[in-house]
Amino acid sequence: MEDLEEDSRTIRERLGRRGLAALALAAIIVASGVFYMYRVTPRKMGTQTDRTHSLRYDEALLDGFEAGRINLGIWNVTGAWSLSTGPRYSSSYDGCYQGSLCVWSGTVHNRESQLVLNFSVSRTFVNYASLLLNFSLWVDTNTNDVLYVDYFNNGNWNVAAQYSGLLSTTEPVNRTLNGWFLPQLELPTTTTMTRFRYLTGCCENLYRGVLIDEVGVYMVGPGSFGKVIVTGHGSDSAPLSVPVSMDDGPYFKTLTGNGFNIGLAFLASPAKHTLTVPSVFSDGSESYELVSWDDGSNSSSRLVTVPTAGNLQFTLRFVPRL
């Protein structure tokens, strides 16, 4: 594994980014009694974060729905959500925000349709300040048909934002990006799922519904901090979930899944820090003992120097205890 982002590509579908120049837009949009401010400036794409010197954005997941299917490994779909080639409002509105495919809410009366994204990244990213959810959105509904964007943390679903109305087919949004706009929602780091929940009524006009494209999840922290990535391996080099602690803090397990080693990332200030692993641990079915770190050290505790805005990577090797 080169780093956490490289291995996370095995559980998501990635897209190339395109350069896209757009007109500046600053407008207050009234939607179902809720005010939103959107700003569109020249940028690469909706899920590409604005990089600043004060913050760093570590990508956890990026999905643009270009595989010809909705990836059920990370999405749970109920109701009328389906793949689409984009809105068909006029010739100028044709197409998804990026690429040839996006997802569409459908136009069905009396329905609750959910598109649930399960990324469970909180246990693989430690000490980050927040989670950023980016996506591209196209909305053309009556005011009683509402898209809710929810997030799940600490055992509860919470509403982060809601959208309805003829947002993408009327000014000012319809004059930029073919009616697509680019929400960015800051969520708690304990968030493990988000969902796009579309509710329609029984009898009013359905219009063209909601389309979503380019969903990105980023972990956010101070720009000067560095990332320490730890992965675990068994005696046969297979991925192994290993408990790791930094600076005598709680233990977190490196994440593995479907034969892949996703690892664990600590965000830390540029200074010396102590990484600790148990000499022996049990996963509930078998006990393992430490053999070595990738540099040959067999100590259960070691001092590491985190570079400014840089990354360090360590691999641990454990074997079954006899």
How far is CA 315 from each of CA 11, 232, 263, 290, 318, rounded to the nearest angstrom? 21, 6, 9, 11, 10
Indicate the fold that domain 226-320 takes in CATH.
Immunoglobulin-like (2.60.40)
- Looking at residue 90, its pLDDT comes to 65
Mean per-residue pLDDT for 245-256?
94
Please tell me if the domain spanning 4-221 has the same topology as the one spanning 226-320.
no
Contact between 319 and 290 under an 8 Å Cβ cutoff? The reply is: no
- Please list, residue by residue across 284-322, b when 16 or more beta carbons sit within 10 angstroms of its beta carbon and e when fewer do: eeeebebeebeeeeeeeeeebebeeeeebbbbbbbeeee
- Looking at residue 92, its pLDDT comes to 62
How far is CA 109 from each of CA 80, 86, 112, 140, 205, rounded to the nearest angstrom? 10, 21, 9, 15, 9
- Looking at residue 221, its pLDDT comes to 97
How far is 313 from 69, CA to CA, in rounded Å? Answer: 34
How far is CA 68 from each of CA 74, 84, 118, 159, 203, rounded to the nearest angstrom? 15, 10, 20, 29, 33
In this structure, what DSSP letter does residue 50 have? -
Instruction: Spell out the residues 6+ positions from residue 309 whose beta carbon is closer than 8 angstroms to its own.
Output: 56, 223, 224, 225, 226, 270
How far is 293 from 296, CA to CA, in rounded Å? Answer: 5
Before 172, cis peptide (omega within 30)?
A: yes
Q: In terms of Cα–Cα distance, which of 98, 99, 49, 105 is closest to 82?
A: 105
How far is 257 from 121, CA to CA, in rounded Å? Answer: 12
Domain regions of the chain by residue span: 4-221, 226-320
What's the mean pLDDT when you consider all of the chain?
83
What does 239-260 look like in DSSP terms, one character per residue? B---EEEETT---EEPEEETTE
Quick: pLDDT tens for 155-185: 999 999 999 999 999 988 888 888 999 999 9
Contact between 314 and 232 under an 8 Å Cβ cutoff? The reply is: no
| CATH for 4-221, options being 3.90.870.10, 3.20.20.70, 2.60.120.200, 2.60.200.30 | 2.60.120.200
Quick: pLDDT tens for 100-145: 999 999 999 989 999 999 988 767 899 999 999 999 999 999 999 9
Quick: pLDDT tens for 178-207: 899 999 999 999 999 999 999 999 888 889
Q: Is 260 a residue whose pLDDT tops 90?
A: no
Contact between 35 and 29 under an 8 Å Cβ cutoff? The reply is: yes
Farthest-apart Cα atoms in the chain, separation: 70
**15 three-state secondary structure:** coil
Quick: pLDDT tens for 286-306: 999 999 999 999 999 999 999
Q: In terms of Cα–Cα distance, which of 181, 129, 133 is closest to 160?
A: 133
